[in-house]
Amino acid sequence: MTTVLNPATEEVIAEFDSAGVEETDAAVARAKAAYPAWREVAPGDRARLLRRLASLVEEHQEELAQIESRNVGKPIAGARGEVGMVAQVFHYYAGAVDKHFGETIPVAGGVDMTFREPLGVVGLITPWNFPLNIASWKLGPALACGNAVVLKPAELTPLSALRLAELALEAGIPEGVLNVVVGKGSVAGQRLIEHPDVAKIGFTGSTEVGQQVMRGAAGTIKRVTLELGGKSANVVFADADLERAAATAPYAVFDNAGQDCCARSRILVERSVYDRFLDYLVEATRNIRVGDPADEATEMGPLISAAHRETVASFVTDDVRLAFRGEAPEGQGFWFPCTVAEARPEDRIAREEVFGPVVAVIPFADEAEAVRLANDSPYGLSGSIWTENGARAFRVARAIETGVLSINSNSSVRVSTPFGGYKQSGFGRELGMHALEGYSEVKNVFYSI
């Protein structure tokens, strides 16, 4: 049985029979049966169906945002923005259907051409932090390429995916093309990874489970795309607009209560401005409004679960040097306050992914040390660079080993630009035209003339 809670109140909001191996196999069989007809749908018609889905998401924005807010504990204003992005993702990939094409290659004795072909049935395993967004980043390109899909959302947050599947049917996407199984990762997810009829796994989640996905996929040489953890650095040089860097830094780590793989959970600050920056940062963090996710003014809600709160709390031990600890509601709900810690690069809080509202602030001496510290991590997902020196900004951007960087900004994710990690943050790219690579094969055909 899957019990779904509202993390802000601990109320039970839904219960399901968990899908086991049998139900997962049945979903794969439905997808396999639907695939041949779906891949034959004319590009213009497939685009129209995805566009209709995008429009239905727009029409149901408030409903979907309320579902996501109650199930994840997200502030409602942010949840609306996230659903808006989901609609944009489907619009984008509707437009991409007929713009993802092959090439002709000059060869001797004939004509050589390539085709982009779908993989077949793909399994998508998604996490609880941005349930609908991350599902859409995979569904958009997968469906645009002509694949049939089995989506396994996180057991804690399956509600928005289930509603999206209903909207897909309403949009006219044929039955069996988009299937959702609600079950445990270790059962339903594992079965998808091993299933001989599943051609690819698109996974977002922890690096540990990402390793299991790779291992399990080896048995059938499945394609995998992995979007895993992060410990991204927000690098602030002395010549930056310090007030702006500090005013925005809390949102780059405490947004979604820090449960964000792109969280800039290490702030590296040039030593000469360290104290001044820390003062600004603490002031900005103090102003974050933590509370009821249903309140329009709320900026940060609770953590996802009691177990996760324990994990986050385990980072804030007595020996951690706190610069600030905010307030959070007491009583029901998995609350955790905004926490700013002064850290050394070797501290656990500065090395491991906390996935909660905890930031480690670390001084550096010069540009070389900033780059060395930023790269001193097994992860390489995201990050920011703050400086008014353009040449330095690009030097550092090219030197940091990470997939997504922003200069004088903390944004990582746009519908039309590639997103994904270096090192143990995974591989493969989501969003933009790059994502289509992960959901198609290239076939080469030579025609002798």
Residue ranges binding ligand NDP (CB under 6 A): 125-129, 152, 154-155, 184-186, 189-190, 193, 204-206, 209, 212, 227-229, 261, 353, 355
* Euclidean distance between CA atoms 248 and 262, whole angstroms: 14
Residue 151, CA atoms < 13 Å, CB-side half-sphere: 32
| 262 assigned to active site | no
Q: What's the closest the beta carbon of residue 98 comes to ligand NDP, in angstroms?
A: 31
Question: Which has the closest alpha carbon to 181: 4, 294, 18?
Answer: 18
* Euclidean distance between CA atoms 122 and 308, whole angstroms: 29
Residue (228 or 400) nearer to ligand NDP, CB? 228
Residue (125 or 436) nearer to ligand NDP, CB? 125
Residue (72 or 400) nearer to ligand NDP, CB? 72
Is 52:78 a contact under the CB 8 Å cutoff?
no
| 227 assigned to active site | yes
Q: What's the closest the beta carbon of residue 127 comes to ligand NDP, in angstroms?
A: 3
Burial call 112-141: b when 16+ CB within 10 Å, e when fewer: eeeebebbbbbbbbbbbbbbbbbbbbbbbb
Q: What's the closest the beta carbon of residue 266 comes to ligand NDP, in angstroms?
A: 14
Out of 261, 270, 299, 430, which one is annotated catalytic? 261
Residue (187 or 407) nearer to ligand NDP, CB? 187
Q: What's the closest the beta carbon of residue 420 comes to ligand NDP, in angstroms?
A: 11
Residue (4 or 53) nearer to ligand NDP, CB? 4
Residue 173, CA atoms < 13 Å, CB-side half-sphere: 33
Residues 6+ apart with CB under 8 A from 378: 207, 423, 424
Residue (126 or 402) nearer to ligand NDP, CB? 126
Out of 68, 227, 342, 353, which one is annotated catalytic? 227
Q: What's the closest the beta carbon of residue 95 comes to ligand NDP, in angstroms?
A: 26
* Active site residue ranges: 227, 261
